[in-house]
Amino acid sequence: MLNKYRASLLVGVIAAISAVSTLAAEVKIAVTDLTYEEKVSEYFRTVSATSKTSVKESNSVRDTDKSYSERNSFQGKHESSYNESEGYYTYIDRGELHSYTADLKGAILKGSSLRLTQARPYPNKDMEKIYDVIGRIKQGLYPGADYVLFGTVSSIQFNQDSMSLGNTASANLSLDLVADFSLINTKTYEVKAAFSASGSGKDTKLVSSAGDRISFNRGKVISQTSKSLAEAAYVELMTQLDLPIVESASGDRATKKLPEEAKKSPVKVF
């Protein structure tokens, strides 16, 4: 009797896991490029100078008793102006970063049965509405998607520093990026998951002295940042959706263990 109960329980658990996997496989998600907003100040200096000269000539001739008289006159005028101005022009720059979501898409594809659709970039010249994800959904920018994973940059910072090490010097270029994500239902506009994730990258050079010219590998730094951001975002997404987290091929994924109840019960995520 006990063996039959265990067999029945095992079948139920397998069926539950299969149901969750099948349900997740039917769901299509569009991952947007990271939207950003930045306050930019630019120095300006303008100089303008104009100069204008005009000459007016008049000529008159008189004939009195066959005696001629002639009179000439000249009138000149000169005008000039000089203007100089300088200061700072401040404006808000908005747009999308296209270099930080490819690794996230790859992590979702490799580490879950969720399906992805291609999101279209923001097409409008009016960037003031770029954060209006509901409006973007209504514009049809995510065709076929059941959910949109909308990411925005909350902080991005390049840092460069150096340190003297006796006869040599160590120079570093690092990048830290923090992004906020929301998983939004394209039909009901309900938020199914919301989290922040961070990524970082670093390139270190050793030189003979601190004054030597250094050429950093910015592509390497950006790639490392993208990969670490993808790992963090993937773990957060799977955790909030109660889906199993698959170890990365290198085994360096900082996984978060799901509660045992979530693993054993047929959790309906969507």
d(C-alpha 122, C-alpha 94), whole Å: 11
Sign of dihedral through CA atoms 82, 88, 91, 96? Answer: positive
Report the pLDDT value the prediction gives residue 264, as an integer from 0 to 100: 40
Asked if residue 158 lies in contact with residue 197, where contact means CB atoms within 8 angstroms, the answer is: no
Each residue's pLDDT tens digit, 155-181: 999 998 877 777 777 888 999 999 999
d(C-alpha 227, C-alpha 110), whole Å: 14
Each residue's pLDDT tens digit, 191-250: 999 999 999 999 988 877 655 677 889 999 999 999 999 999 999 999 999 999 987 655
Dig out the tokens for 264 from the structure. Answer: 């054993």
Whole-number percent of the chain with pLDDT over 70: 65
pLDDT band per the 50, 70, 90 thresholds, residue 109: very high
> 252: which residues sit within 8 A by CB, 6+ positions away?
none
* Domain residue spans of the chain: 23-37+95-264, 44-85
Report the pLDDT value the prediction gives residue 191, as an integer from 0 to 100: 96
> 26: which residues sit within 8 A by CB, 6+ positions away?
115
- Nearest one of 181, 177, 109 to 148, comparing CA atoms: 181
Asked if residue 206 lies in contact with residue 170, where contact means CB atoms within 8 angstroms, the answer is: yes
Which residues on neighbouring strands pair with residue 217, listed in sequence order?
none
| Letter string b/e over residues 126-147, b meaning 16 or more CB atoms within 10 A of that residue's CB | eeeebeebeebbeeebbeebbb
Whole-number percent of the chain with pLDDT over 90: 40
Superfamily of domain 23-37+95-264: Lipoprotein like domain (3.30.160.150)
Q: Is the pLDDT of residue 41 over 80?
A: no
Give me the count of residues in the chain.
270
pLDDT band per the 50, 70, 90 thresholds, residue 62: low
Report the pLDDT value the prediction gives residue 260, as an integer from 0 to 100: 47
